[in-house]
Chains A and B, each alone.
Chain A
Amino acid sequence: MRFRCERDVLVDGLSTAGRAVSSRGGAQPVLAGIRMILQGDRLELTGSDLELTISVELTVAGDTDGEIVIPSRLALDIVKALEPGAVTIDTEGEEARITGGRSQFSLHLIPAEEYPPLVAPTGESLTIGAAEFAEGLRQVVPAASTDDSRPILTGVLLAREGTGLRLVSTDSYRLAVRDLPGTSVLAEGQKVLVPSRALTEVARALQSASELTLLLGERDASFLIDGVRLSTRLIEGEFPNYRGLIPQSQPNRLTVGRTALIDALRRVKLMAREATPVRLTMSADGLELVAITQDVGQAHEQLDAQYEGTDLTVAFNPDYLMNGLDVTPGDEVSIETVDTLKPALLRSLETTDFLYLLMPVRVS
């Protein structure tokens, strides 16, 4: 194999494909590598941990076709460190030579025949607008669990809702639901559970794209975005029944400026250390935020807000509340509550497309 390519193009390709390479190495050493397949001027870079596979297609100045597996981290570090300009990669026996400017590296390859066969994407291909989907991912992915011991909660549910698409995630402490009414990709009653890790990468790849193509198979899903293909295994199992938890309306309703609350929370949070909660005291006078950490200190802040309901103090994990406020659109938000132990409902006053349900922290 031999080809020439601009350094920055190759760095982008290697780092994108490298994001699917497991940092822990995993059971198969070959998966610590990136597979490069050169056919004519078309170079395909693939990284995979068998759960998530990312392939990037680049146009290069190809010379000799071939297939190699190159250590991912090292190859990226080398190419990144080269002088700007053209980089040449050619192989000789078990080694790859990386040349750029006056630098030359030779690097032991991983036998390419050990690279596991990767499933080709299956299913009908559907094209959807990138902007709205990317926004939906930004809103729901952070609420998914990162705890591998509860695999179902590490996924984001994609389900048909009405004629559109609904994205749902929960780590059991909060629940984020986003409706994309204009995006009809799923059949009636169809739903899939996509690992949030894969969707984080999808969101990253979507930054500069205008549309994406989705292929849904029985066991896997693929996202095609501007020459990048992300394929992921779907999570098997039943997503918790979240519908019954979403209240139509709640007795107490606070309306407050979103940015003002975010700013106040950011300040008060400084005194909510070691997992102590922030307390929201809601009354006709407005909203007061309080954080007290024993032996450290305390913070208070008063905010203008409208409140209808009985006077109430509810405590929340400040990070979870902040996450919800960050991804709720609009200038004003409402926080609806029942009592100190029931979930609070966070919504935008401008749209009903998104809601965030947050469980309080019980304080004695």
Chain B
Amino acid sequence: MCEHSFVNSPRLDAADSSRRGPTRILHADLDAFFASVEQRDDPSLRGRPIAVGGGVVLAASYEARAFGVRGAMGGTEARRRCPDLRFVRPRMSAYSEASAAVFEIFRETSPVVEGISIDEAFLDVSGLRRLAGEPADIATRLRARVRAEVGLPISVGIASTKALAKVASAVGKPDGLCEVPIGGELDFLHPLPIERLWGVGPANSAKLRARGIRTVGELAAVPRTAVASIVGRGSAAHLCALAGNEDPRRVRTRARRRSMGAQRALGRAPRTAEEHDAVLVALAERVTGRMRSADRVGRCITLRVRFADFTAVTRSVTLPEATAHTATILAGVRRAYRHASPLIEERGCTLLGISIGHLDDADAVQLALPFDVYAGDTLDHAVDAVRDKFGAAAVRRAAGLRAGRGVEMPMLPD
């Protein structure tokens, strides 16, 4: 839980603030989202360690986390750590529904909401003091509404920057509120372990700790050039800025997506290349359909492969032209898969995902010579029309049928 002292609302210094007041950003993050939805809907699961997923843990309840069960952990390992663990099959439609309801509350709370995943968002409440009160009051009401109207616990961090608000919500978890007072940012940030910073994963954490850098304050005391020699120049610039609470990014409403993707967990059973291909076909169909309905085209295709040991690699292919043409994207996806296939054969594959990046509005599309009417986008448009009328499952590529339904991760609306 958060230190109580941080929850005190700051006094406004009228001299140094514009009429809008200082920037105050909320980071709202649902706690153990999938697991919380299951516990909400099935009273017998409440208070018990549960994991959502099949072969692999997609989400673990806080009761399970106490035993060391983590997301992306294999089922066997999870049961070893927590013999009483109850596995619940995921219900993605329930999560999408809950997410939509929570985002509705976000949007009623502030006009400036930036969703960053299905279960978290930034809200800019800087200008809302007169209308809605102090940020801490707004956050308290937000948490109460999510609890009362959707039945889910949510943690909120309040700070002057996005990065710090995200750190604060993590400190506040579970089911907590944590405000970093204006002027108290570095006092709050510096005692925290470096892993709290956005961008310090296991790799950077190990490198920094090996040099005796354990807290954010210790990191802030090291010159940027020295940090660069430990984690590389790109990471160093990012981490040093965060350690000094420099994060100029604003909360952007409905930021245009730079990429669109879909992924599918495959479980731990070995699959053939043909089965993988069927999954890729289904993913490519889904993503390109969404791209077309959002009028977006892209040229950078990234395939993400997670291995049986939970490490992951990505392989990218760049097309000469941006497109939302299913067959063209699929060809690129297959090419990326071929690049990854030696590793897949060696290490097994538990998740396949694709994303199309460098998205552009489809306002400039290089047309193709009409060698064959079915090769162009005529086919896609016909398929889209059928799906609009009869639903997404009405028409599918035969090659994708073998992919079955699997576990599909819900996504933010495009």
Contact = CB atoms under 8 A, between A and B. Distances in A.
A248 interface: no
A275 B364 contact: yes
Contact of A147 (B320, B366, B368): B320
A274 B364 CA distance: 11
A124 interface: no
Interface in A185-231: none
A362 B323 CA distance: 12
A154 interface: no
Interface in A220-268: 240-242, 245
Contacts of A245: 369-371
B331 A150 contact: yes
Interface string B309-334: 00000000001111000000001101
Given A150-B331, A362-B364, A175 B321 contact: no
Nearest to B328: A149
B133 to A, nearest CB: 37
Given A149-B332, A150-B331, A357 B364 contact: no
> Looking at chain B, what size class is its interface with the partner chain?
20 to 34
B321 A173 contact: yes
A343 B363 CA distance: 18
A275 B368 contact: no
A241 B364 contact: no
Given A149-B332, A275-B321, A359 B372 contact: no
Contacts of A173: 320-321, 366-369
B60 to A, nearest CB: 40
A277 B364 contact: yes
Contact of B372 (A240, A277, A357): A240
Interface in B66-108: none
B367 A364 contact: no
Nearest to B320: A147
B335 interface: yes
A239 to B, nearest CB: 10
Interface in B355-374: 360, 362-372
B366 A361 contact: yes
A359 B371 contact: no
Interface in A328-364: 341, 343, 357, 359-364
Given A149-B335, A150-B331, A275-B322, A362 B365 contact: yes
A172 interface: yes
A274 B335 CA distance: 24
A146 B371 CA distance: 18
Contact of A361 (B331, B332, B367, B369): B367
B363 A363 contact: yes
Name the residue in A149, A150, A341 with the highest tally of chain B Cβ atoms < 10 Å from its Cβ.
A149
A148 B335 contact: yes
Interface string A75-115: 00000000000000000000000000000000000000000
17 contacts: A145-B320, A147-B319, A147-B331, A148-B335, A149-B331, A149-B334, A172-B371, A173-B366, A173-B367, A240-B371, A240-B372, A241-B371, A276-B364, A277-B364, A357-B369, A364-B362, A364-B363
Interface of B: 299, 319-322, 331-332, 334-335, 360, 362-372
Given A173-B321, A315-B364, A361-B367, 19 more contacts: A147-B319, A147-B331, A149-B334, A150-B331, A170-B369, A172-B369, A173-B369, A174-B369, A240-B369, A242-B369, A275-B299, A275-B321, A343-B369, A359-B368, A360-B367, A361-B364, A362-B365, A362-B367, A364-B363
